[in-house]
Amino acid sequence: MPPTETSTALPPPEPVTIGIVSVSDRASRGAYEDKGLPALKDWLGRALHNPIAFHERLVPDEPEQVVRALTELVDGLGCALVLTTGGTGPAPRDITPEATLAVADRELPGFGEQMRQISLRFVPTAILSRQTAVVRGKCLIINLPGQPKSIAETLEGLKGEDGASLVPGIFAAVPYCIDLIGGPYLETRDSVCKAFRPKAAVRHVRAG
């Protein structure tokens, strides 16, 4: 889409550093190709106007390794947002929520509640998911499901045939959350996911 007069007058979007973590025993040892990391990069690249510096981690379902990855991404690399995929079920090796809570300053349980509401539209076993979100310093960390289709549905939400929103996705709340904890100003593409901010928190509106 060619830039409009309004969009060309706006300051460029802030760069953002995002960590993406896939937690999987089998993928980490090469038993199959990881699909979570490419799915996250693809969706975020379509959803955000901001230039993104990605830092990727592929780790097994080991608490110490997940904690180390999250800590490095936040404290060492300055990520404003970290998204994990995988390891959130009730099986003994599903330890992503525990590792996430271990690095947390504060928990944001509303993200997990909404993720389960989205998944319940498809399968009753969505209640088995233990996904959550936390704040560490100035970074938001969110646990996501493992399948690419579920990742997109969770972030983007569900729409009817007429394009109207049926269930809001969680990413609509992410930019304002990052504002509140002192991170960069994320600008979304409305065609993918329209961010919600109170009017007083909106700096400008970018086309597209």
pLDDT in tens, the chain (208 residues): 455 444 457 899 999 999 999 999 888 888 788 999 999 999 999 999 999 999 999 999 999 999 999 999 999 999 999 999 999 999 999 999 999 999 999 999 999 999 999 999 999 999 999 999 999 999 999 999 989 999 999 999 988 787 777 888 999 999 999 999 999 999 999 989 999 999 999 998 887 6
Q: Is residue 207 part of a domain?
A: no
Number of domain units in the chain: 1
Phi, psi for residue 28 in degrees, rounded to 5: -70, -25
* pLDDT for the residue numbered 5: 45
Query: What SS3 state is found at 3?
Result: coil
Which pLDDT score is estimated for 33?
87
208 inside domain? no
The confidence score (pLDDT) of residue 189 equals 94
Determine the pLDDT at residue 206.
84
Number of H helices, E strands in the chain: 8, 8
- Residue 17 within any structural domain of the chain: yes
Position 7 scores a pLDDT of 47
Amino acid 12: pLDDT: 94
Contacts of 77 (CB under 8 A, 6+ apart): 17, 19, 55
Domain region containing 60? 5-201
Nearest to 175 by CA among 37, 81, 43, 56: 81
Has residue 41 been placed in a domain? Answer: yes
CATH number reported for the structural domain that contains residue 171 in this entry: 3.40.980.10
Q: Is residue 191 part of a domain?
A: yes
Of 12, 13, 20, 17, whose CA–CA distance to 155 is shortest?
A: 20
H-helix or E-strand spanning residue 47 = helix 36-47
* pLDDT of res. 162: 78
Is residue 206 one of the residues assigned to a domain?
no
Q: Is residue 20 part of a domain?
A: yes
